[in-house]
Amino acid sequence: MTTQHTEAARQPLTTLSEDERLFRDSVYEFADREVRPLVREMDEHAKIPPALVEKLFDLGVMGIEIPDAYGGGGATFFHAVLAVEALSRVDPSIGVLVDVQNTLVINALLRWGSDEVKRRYLPKMASATIGAYALSEAGSGSDAFAMGTRASERDGDWAITGRKLWITNGNEAGLFIVFANANPEAGYRGITAFLVERGTPGFTVGKKEDKLGIRASSTCELLFDECRVPRANVLGEVGKGYKVAIETLNEGRIGIGAQMIGLAQGALDHTIAYTRERKQFGKAIAEFQAVQHQIARAATEIEASRLLVYNAARLRDGGQPFLTEAAMGKIFASEVAERTASLAVNLFGGNGFVKEYPVEKLYRDAKIGQIYEGTSNLQLQTIAKQIMG
């Protein structure tokens, strides 16, 4: 059993053009129709049905910024943010699938890929191929550049050896952006980004993690044993992988902020509906002022986090600096998501603690927002450096 969701949660329409509003609403309508009936099953089985992935490609949200010439949507980064938010309002697992595809993988290909790389991969990314972004390792999480994966030249090509952990989309991806150090003596200046296709000899997708939340989204280890990669598959320049990683992740954090906004809004939707149904002391708990005030505060925080994230996305599309704004949006949206999901569990009472109702899942899903694509402590450090010089 699930509670009835609200049809029209308040949105900051003044910040959206008519085209953007219609796009966001169409994605949410799709999520409500196609994703919502599958949410509990996907969470329990920790898997996204292939048929749903096909529908996401048909909808056009898997290649939002890819130019028309390559079969993509030719839209903006802001449109990608709106899509992630709308999908995450129903299931953050689907939101992060689309987020990594657009804000990390496709963004990196558009910015750093050669003309040949774009011709080879962008049409596939727009139509059928899922991407993954392989940076993290067991000893290099927050310190992403302390990586042990190595790349060595072999007969004009490259051979990659190492192990990556916690790679989102690992189970479904056909193309992986893999970071390896081609010159360890140079430290982070040896890091290079490579494009590795699934099925390449020497490359294996390993264990899929059994996670607390966003369980339908696959998180896997990747194993490389003398994996041969052609020279043409270097993304950007040899030794410039650190620049690819930093600049792409700065954008990706805006996408995670959008995921957390959608999660928080979804939790609030369920909560508002349920407080009108749940009765205590002879009346709906929605009539109690204490409940109204908690909901009002949550709605205020969601609106504030939404505007922070939207602002960062607008700055990015406008070619203006956005590092501080992206960090602020991610940290605040992730904290708001956790608080709002916790409030939802509280106001559902005992039903909030059982899987028959939807909010315990959102509570589990919310925790990752403060961990991946830069922990909250790292975001605070970024903000402090920027504002304190």
DSSP output for 165-206: EEEETTTT-SEEEEEEES-GGGGGGGEEEEEEETT-TTEEEE
Q: How far is CA 216 from CA 40, 84, 252, 254, 278, in A?
A: 10, 15, 20, 21, 30
Residue 373 known to be catalytic: yes
Non-local (6+) Cβ contacts of 309 within 8 A are 81, 85, 254, 257, 258, 261, 329, 330, 333
Phi, psi of 341 (to 5 degrees): -65, -35
> What's the angle, vertex CA 246, arms to CA 94 and CA 169, rounded to 5?
25
> Could you give the CA distance from residue 186 to residue 188 in angstroms, rounded to a whole number?
6
94 burial level (CB within 10 Å; 0-12, 13-18, 19+): buried
3-state secondary structure of 235: strand
The C-alpha atoms of residue 47 and residue 53 are separated, in whole angstroms, by 11
C-beta atoms surrounding 124 within 10 Å: 17
Active-site position among 221, 325, 360, 373:
373
DSSP assignments along 330-374, one per residue:
HHHHHHHHHHHHHHHHHHHGGGGGSTTSSHHHHHHHHGGGGTTTS
Q: How far apart are CA 374 and CA 249, in angstroms?
A: 8
Distance from C-alpha of 155 to C-alpha of 255, rounded to nearest angstrom: 39
Residues whose CB is less than 8 angstroms from the CB of residue 94 and which lie 6 or more positions away in sequence, other chains included: 31, 35, 48, 52, 56, 87, 88, 216, 217
Query: What are the residue numbers of the active site?
Result: 373
